[in-house]
Amino acid sequence: MSAILKSKLKVALIQLAGSAPDKNANLTRAATFVAKAMKEQPDTKLVVLPECFNSPYAVDKFREYAEVITPEAPSVKALSEIARQWKIILVGGSIPELEPTSDKLYNTSIIFNEKGELIGTHRKAHLFDVDIPNGITFKESTTLSAGNKNTLIDEPSIGKFGVGICYDLRFPELAMVNARKGAFAMIYPSAFNTVTGPMHWHLLARSRSIDNEIYTLLCSPARNLNSSYHAYGHSLVVNPKGEVIAEAGEGEEIIYAELDPEFIKEVRQAIPVIFQRRFDIYGDVSKFEV
Protein backbone atom coordinates (compact mmCIF):
# COMPACT_ATOMS: atom_id res chain seq x y z
CA MET A 1 0.00 0.00 0.00
CA SER A 2 1.68 3.24 -1.12
CA ALA A 3 1.71 6.25 1.19
CA ILE A 4 -0.75 9.02 0.30
CA LEU A 5 1.11 11.45 2.56
CA LYS A 6 4.72 11.91 1.41
CA SER A 7 6.27 12.11 4.90
CA LYS A 8 5.44 13.18 8.44
CA LEU A 9 3.82 16.61 8.35
CA LYS A 10 3.66 19.20 11.15
CA VAL A 11 0.52 21.32 10.99
CA ALA A 12 -0.61 24.42 12.87
CA LEU A 13 -4.21 25.60 13.27
CA ILE A 14 -4.48 29.26 14.23
CA GLN A 15 -7.60 30.07 16.23
CA LEU A 16 -7.87 33.85 15.88
CA ALA A 17 -10.41 35.97 17.74
CA GLY A 18 -13.60 36.92 15.93
CA SER A 19 -12.62 39.36 13.24
CA ALA A 20 -12.53 43.08 13.99
CA PRO A 21 -14.11 45.68 11.69
CA ASP A 22 -10.65 46.67 10.39
CA LYS A 23 -9.61 44.29 7.58
CA ASN A 24 -5.98 45.40 7.62
CA ALA A 25 -5.81 44.81 11.36
CA ASN A 26 -7.20 41.31 10.84
CA LEU A 27 -4.57 40.56 8.20
CA THR A 28 -1.81 41.90 10.42
CA ARG A 29 -3.03 39.80 13.32
CA ALA A 30 -3.04 36.69 11.14
CA ALA A 31 0.54 37.43 10.08
CA THR A 32 1.57 37.91 13.72
CA PHE A 33 0.09 34.58 14.76
CA VAL A 34 1.67 32.72 11.85
CA ALA A 35 5.03 34.22 12.82
CA LYS A 36 4.44 33.07 16.40
CA ALA A 37 3.62 29.55 15.21
CA MET A 38 6.74 29.36 13.08
CA LYS A 39 8.94 30.52 15.93
CA GLU A 40 7.38 28.05 18.34
CA GLN A 41 7.40 25.13 15.90
CA PRO A 42 9.78 25.98 13.02
CA ASP A 43 9.31 22.59 11.38
CA THR A 44 5.64 23.40 10.66
CA LYS A 45 4.84 22.97 6.96
CA LEU A 46 1.05 23.44 6.76
CA VAL A 47 -0.83 26.30 8.45
CA VAL A 48 -4.60 26.83 8.53
CA LEU A 49 -6.57 30.00 9.34
CA PRO A 50 -10.26 30.21 10.35
CA GLU A 51 -13.34 30.85 8.28
CA CYS A 52 -13.97 34.55 7.52
CA PHE A 53 -10.86 35.55 9.42
CA ASN A 54 -10.56 38.93 7.68
CA SER A 55 -14.14 40.14 8.14
CA PRO A 56 -17.07 39.94 10.53
CA TYR A 57 -19.12 36.79 10.02
CA ALA A 58 -22.37 38.57 9.25
CA VAL A 59 -24.54 38.44 6.14
CA ASP A 60 -24.87 42.24 6.06
CA LYS A 61 -21.08 42.70 6.07
CA PHE A 62 -19.90 40.24 3.40
CA ARG A 63 -20.22 42.65 0.46
CA GLU A 64 -18.44 45.44 2.29
CA TYR A 65 -15.41 43.19 2.92
CA ALA A 66 -15.49 41.24 -0.34
CA GLU A 67 -12.51 41.16 -2.69
CA VAL A 68 -12.02 40.10 -6.28
CA ILE A 69 -9.38 37.38 -6.09
CA THR A 70 -6.41 38.87 -7.91
CA PRO A 71 -2.73 39.03 -6.93
CA GLU A 72 -3.21 42.62 -5.76
CA ALA A 73 -6.30 42.03 -3.62
CA PRO A 74 -5.42 42.92 0.01
CA SER A 75 -6.03 39.49 1.52
CA VAL A 76 -4.52 37.58 -1.40
CA LYS A 77 -1.39 39.75 -1.33
CA ALA A 78 -1.01 39.48 2.45
CA LEU A 79 -1.46 35.70 2.59
CA SER A 80 0.83 35.16 -0.38
CA GLU A 81 3.56 37.07 1.42
CA ILE A 82 3.02 35.10 4.64
CA ALA A 83 3.32 31.78 2.79
CA ARG A 84 6.40 32.94 0.88
CA GLN A 85 8.12 34.42 3.94
CA TRP A 86 7.78 31.28 6.05
CA LYS A 87 7.92 28.77 3.18
CA ILE A 88 4.68 27.10 4.25
CA ILE A 89 1.56 25.75 2.61
CA LEU A 90 -1.16 28.11 3.82
CA VAL A 91 -4.88 27.38 3.81
CA GLY A 92 -6.03 30.96 4.18
CA GLY A 93 -9.24 30.28 6.09
CA SER A 94 -11.91 31.93 4.01
CA ILE A 95 -12.72 35.44 2.83
CA PRO A 96 -15.77 37.04 1.22
CA GLU A 97 -15.14 36.94 -2.53
CA LEU A 98 -16.73 39.13 -5.21
CA GLU A 99 -17.07 37.59 -8.66
CA PRO A 100 -17.08 40.75 -10.82
CA THR A 101 -18.76 39.47 -13.96
CA SER A 102 -21.80 38.17 -12.08
CA ASP A 103 -21.63 40.46 -9.02
CA LYS A 104 -22.11 37.34 -6.89
CA LEU A 105 -20.55 36.90 -3.47
CA TYR A 106 -18.92 33.70 -2.26
CA ASN A 107 -17.36 32.45 0.96
CA THR A 108 -14.00 31.36 -0.44
CA SER A 109 -10.88 29.67 0.87
CA ILE A 110 -7.60 30.61 -0.82
CA ILE A 111 -4.64 28.22 -0.66
CA PHE A 112 -0.97 29.07 -1.24
CA ASN A 113 2.21 27.05 -1.67
CA GLU A 114 5.65 27.66 -0.18
CA LYS A 115 6.49 30.15 -2.93
CA GLY A 116 3.42 32.24 -2.14
CA GLU A 117 1.65 31.10 -5.30
CA LEU A 118 -2.13 30.71 -5.25
CA ILE A 119 -2.62 26.98 -5.90
CA GLY A 120 -6.34 26.61 -5.28
CA THR A 121 -9.61 28.15 -4.17
CA HIS A 122 -12.72 26.62 -2.65
CA ARG A 123 -16.08 28.35 -2.71
CA LYS A 124 -18.29 27.11 0.11
CA ALA A 125 -20.59 24.62 -1.56
CA HIS A 126 -23.25 24.25 1.15
CA LEU A 127 -24.59 27.51 2.53
CA PHE A 128 -25.36 27.78 6.24
CA ASP A 129 -29.12 28.36 6.24
CA VAL A 130 -30.54 27.14 9.54
CA ASP A 131 -33.40 27.98 11.86
CA ILE A 132 -33.05 26.16 15.18
CA PRO A 133 -35.88 26.97 17.61
CA ASN A 134 -34.55 28.63 20.76
CA GLY A 135 -31.10 28.38 19.21
CA ILE A 136 -29.94 30.29 16.15
CA THR A 137 -31.27 31.56 12.85
CA PHE A 138 -28.70 32.34 10.17
CA LYS A 139 -29.08 32.43 6.41
CA GLU A 140 -25.90 32.83 4.37
CA SER A 141 -27.94 32.65 1.17
CA THR A 142 -29.30 36.13 1.95
CA THR A 143 -26.13 37.50 0.39
CA LEU A 144 -23.89 34.58 -0.61
CA SER A 145 -23.99 32.20 -3.56
CA ALA A 146 -22.91 28.56 -3.32
CA GLY A 147 -19.81 27.24 -5.01
CA ASN A 148 -20.24 24.47 -7.57
CA LYS A 149 -17.11 22.33 -7.36
CA ASN A 150 -15.20 19.96 -5.16
CA THR A 151 -11.68 21.08 -4.23
CA LEU A 152 -8.70 18.75 -4.14
CA ILE A 153 -5.26 20.30 -3.79
CA ASP A 154 -2.34 18.33 -5.20
CA GLU A 155 0.81 19.75 -3.65
CA PRO A 156 3.84 17.71 -4.77
CA SER A 157 5.86 18.32 -1.61
CA ILE A 158 3.29 16.68 0.69
CA GLY A 159 0.52 15.00 -1.33
CA LYS A 160 -3.19 15.66 -1.84
CA PHE A 161 -5.67 17.23 0.58
CA GLY A 162 -9.27 18.33 0.25
CA VAL A 163 -10.70 21.67 1.35
CA GLY A 164 -14.24 22.43 2.51
CA ILE A 165 -15.70 25.27 4.56
CA CYS A 166 -17.74 24.86 7.74
CA TYR A 167 -21.22 23.64 6.71
CA ASP A 168 -19.56 21.55 3.98
CA LEU A 169 -18.45 19.29 6.85
CA ARG A 170 -22.02 18.05 7.33
CA PHE A 171 -22.12 16.58 3.83
CA PRO A 172 -19.88 13.49 3.68
CA GLU A 173 -19.64 13.33 -0.09
CA LEU A 174 -16.84 15.90 -0.44
CA ALA A 175 -14.61 13.97 1.94
CA MET A 176 -15.50 10.68 0.21
CA VAL A 177 -14.62 12.05 -3.21
CA ASN A 178 -11.30 13.48 -2.07
CA ALA A 179 -10.28 10.45 -0.02
CA ARG A 180 -10.96 8.14 -2.98
CA LYS A 181 -8.80 10.42 -5.14
CA GLY A 182 -5.87 10.08 -2.76
CA ALA A 183 -6.29 12.84 -0.16
CA PHE A 184 -4.55 12.28 3.17
CA ALA A 185 -6.74 14.89 4.90
CA MET A 186 -9.79 17.10 4.71
CA ILE A 187 -9.30 20.66 5.93
CA TYR A 188 -12.31 22.75 6.95
CA PRO A 189 -11.95 26.37 8.07
CA SER A 190 -15.13 26.50 10.13
CA ALA A 191 -17.13 28.88 12.29
CA PHE A 192 -19.58 26.60 14.08
CA ASN A 193 -21.45 28.48 16.81
CA THR A 194 -22.28 27.87 20.45
CA VAL A 195 -25.52 26.10 19.49
CA THR A 196 -24.36 23.75 16.72
CA GLY A 197 -20.83 23.29 18.09
CA PRO A 198 -21.75 21.34 21.21
CA MET A 199 -24.21 19.29 19.17
CA HIS A 200 -22.03 18.05 16.33
CA TRP A 201 -18.52 19.59 16.04
CA HIS A 202 -16.54 16.67 17.41
CA LEU A 203 -18.94 14.05 16.06
CA LEU A 204 -18.76 15.30 12.47
CA ALA A 205 -14.98 15.68 12.45
CA ARG A 206 -14.49 12.18 13.84
CA SER A 207 -17.03 10.77 11.39
CA ARG A 208 -15.29 12.23 8.34
CA SER A 209 -12.02 10.68 9.54
CA ILE A 210 -13.48 7.28 10.37
CA ASP A 211 -15.51 7.07 7.15
CA ASN A 212 -12.46 7.66 4.98
CA GLU A 213 -9.49 6.74 7.20
CA ILE A 214 -7.91 10.16 6.74
CA TYR A 215 -6.98 13.12 8.95
CA THR A 216 -9.59 15.83 9.49
CA LEU A 217 -8.63 19.39 10.45
CA LEU A 218 -11.14 21.99 11.65
CA CYS A 219 -9.93 25.55 12.23
CA SER A 220 -12.36 27.81 14.07
CA PRO A 221 -12.31 31.46 15.04
CA ALA A 222 -11.89 32.03 18.76
CA ARG A 223 -15.04 32.91 20.67
CA ASN A 224 -15.78 36.63 20.90
CA LEU A 225 -18.82 37.40 23.01
CA ASN A 226 -18.71 41.03 21.88
CA SER A 227 -19.48 40.07 18.28
CA SER A 228 -22.93 39.30 16.91
CA TYR A 229 -21.88 35.73 16.06
CA HIS A 230 -20.35 33.59 18.81
CA ALA A 231 -17.97 31.01 17.36
CA TYR A 232 -17.61 27.69 19.14
CA GLY A 233 -13.81 27.54 19.07
CA HIS A 234 -12.31 24.10 19.77
CA SER A 235 -10.20 23.82 16.60
CA LEU A 236 -9.41 20.13 16.11
CA VAL A 237 -7.14 17.62 14.48
CA VAL A 238 -8.58 14.11 14.22
CA ASN A 239 -6.55 11.10 13.09
CA PRO A 240 -7.71 8.34 10.71
CA LYS A 241 -8.79 6.23 13.67
CA GLY A 242 -11.23 8.94 14.76
CA GLU A 243 -9.17 10.11 17.73
CA VAL A 244 -8.82 13.80 18.58
CA ILE A 245 -5.05 14.37 18.74
CA ALA A 246 -5.08 18.16 19.19
CA GLU A 247 -7.79 20.54 20.37
CA ALA A 248 -7.99 24.21 21.24
CA GLY A 249 -10.13 25.79 23.92
CA GLU A 250 -12.42 28.75 23.26
CA GLY A 251 -9.90 31.63 23.15
CA GLU A 252 -7.09 32.66 20.82
CA GLU A 253 -4.69 29.78 20.52
CA ILE A 254 -2.41 27.87 18.15
CA ILE A 255 -2.57 24.09 18.15
CA TYR A 256 -0.06 21.76 16.53
CA ALA A 257 -0.17 18.17 15.38
CA GLU A 258 1.95 15.78 13.36
CA LEU A 259 0.30 13.83 10.56
CA ASP A 260 1.94 10.45 10.00
CA PRO A 261 1.72 8.46 6.75
CA GLU A 262 2.55 5.25 8.58
CA PHE A 263 -0.45 5.73 10.85
CA ILE A 264 -2.76 6.08 7.85
CA LYS A 265 -1.29 2.86 6.46
CA GLU A 266 -1.63 1.08 9.80
CA VAL A 267 -5.30 2.01 10.18
CA ARG A 268 -6.12 1.00 6.61
CA GLN A 269 -4.41 -2.35 7.00
CA ALA A 270 -6.19 -3.09 10.28
CA ILE A 271 -9.68 -2.13 9.06
CA PRO A 272 -9.49 -2.17 5.24
CA VAL A 273 -12.78 -0.49 4.41
CA ILE A 274 -11.21 1.27 1.43
CA PHE A 275 -10.88 -2.12 -0.27
CA GLN A 276 -14.21 -3.54 0.91
CA ARG A 277 -16.73 -1.09 -0.46
CA ARG A 278 -19.49 -2.64 -2.57
CA PHE A 279 -19.85 -0.41 -5.58
CA ASP A 280 -21.85 -3.18 -7.22
CA ILE A 281 -24.57 -2.40 -4.64
CA TYR A 282 -24.21 1.38 -4.29
CA GLY A 283 -22.58 4.02 -6.42
CA ASP A 284 -19.13 5.51 -5.99
CA VAL A 285 -19.67 9.26 -5.60
CA SER A 286 -16.15 9.98 -6.82
CA LYS A 287 -17.16 8.67 -10.25
CA PHE A 288 -20.12 11.01 -10.61
CA GLU A 289 -18.42 14.29 -9.86
CA VAL A 290 -19.15 17.09 -12.33
**CB burial string 226-237: b at 16+ within 10 A, e below:** ebebbbbbbbbb
Q: Are 143 and 104 in contact (CB under 8 A)?
A: no
Query: Active site residue: 23, 45, 67, 124, which one?
Result: 124
Query: Active site residue: 23, 45, 51, 67, which one?
Result: 51
| Active site (annotated) includes residue 160 | no
Q: In Å, how far are 48, 174, 176, 211 from 288, measured between CA atoms? A: 29, 12, 12, 19
Query: Active site residue: 52, 97, 140, 166, which one?
Result: 166
Q: What is the DSSP string of the chain?
A: ---SBSS-EEEEEEEPPSPPS-HHHHHHHHHHHHHHHHHH-TT--EEE--TTTTS-S-TTTHHHH-B--STTSHHHHHHHHHHHHHT-EEE---EEEEETTTTEEEEEEEEE-TTS-EEEEEE-SS--EEEETTTEEEEGGGT--------EEEETTTEEEEE--GGGGG-THHHHHHHHTTEEEEEEE---BTTHHHHHHHHHHHHHHHHHTSEEEEEPPPP-TTSSS-B----EEE-TTS-EEEE--SSSEEEEEEE-HHHHHHHHHHS-HHHH--TTTS--GGGS--
Q: Which residues pair with 10 in a beta bridge?
A: 258
| Active site (annotated) includes residue 51 | yes
Show which residues are catalytic: 51, 124, 166
